[in-house]
Amino acid sequence: MRSAAWANLALAIASGAFGAHTLARFLTEARLETFKTGQFYHLAVGLAWLILVSGSFGFDRQILLRSSWALAVGTVFFTGSLTALALTGIRLFGAITPIGGVIWIVTFLALAFLSSKREPSGTRSDSQH
């Protein structure tokens, strides 16, 4: 899982560089912004994914595996659809983007819920003294 997270980050950097150095010459400003938005979220979620699988949260392997798959699928839907929209101008791809965003949000909320269940009582920052 860690190697997949690292590979995902490498892909985010490589595709971002491709956009900045190659696509910038061929795309309209609006389509380039669409591409950049996809790459920004790809990188942000990739970093979160790497932090998740670093092992510092103590999740079991099954949770890490399911979360990793969900983040990868969300990346394909979100970043992939924005990339396709930027490259082709076909607006239908924009309708796919929210699917990826919802997958990411649900995954992170599930991890937040699971994390809160793991905290010993009295250690939450929102507890009253």
The answer to whether residue 81 sits within a structural domain is yes
Token couple for 9:
């980050």
**pLDDT for the residue numbered 129:** 45
Q: pLDDT averaged over the chain?
A: 91
The answer to whether residue 123 sits within a structural domain is no
Confidence of residue 121 (pLDDT cuts 50, 70, 90): low
Using CA atoms of 46, 85, 30, 17 in order, give the dihedral in degrees to the nearest 10: 40
Higher pLDDT: 128 or 105? It is 105
**pLDDT for the residue numbered 93:** 98
79 burial via Cβ count (<10 Å: 0-12, 13-18, 19+): buried
The answer to whether residue 129 sits within a structural domain is no
pLDDT in tens, 34-62: 999 999 999 999 999 999 999 878 899 99
> How many domains is the chain built from?
1
How many residues make up the chain in this entry?
A: 129
pLDDT in tens, 70-93: 999 999 999 999 999 999 999 999
Rounded distance between C-alpha atoms, residue 60 and residue 114, angstroms: 11
| Residue 75 lies in domain | 2-118
The answer to whether residue 98 sits within a structural domain is yes
Compute the C-alpha angle 70/72/76, nearest 5°: 115
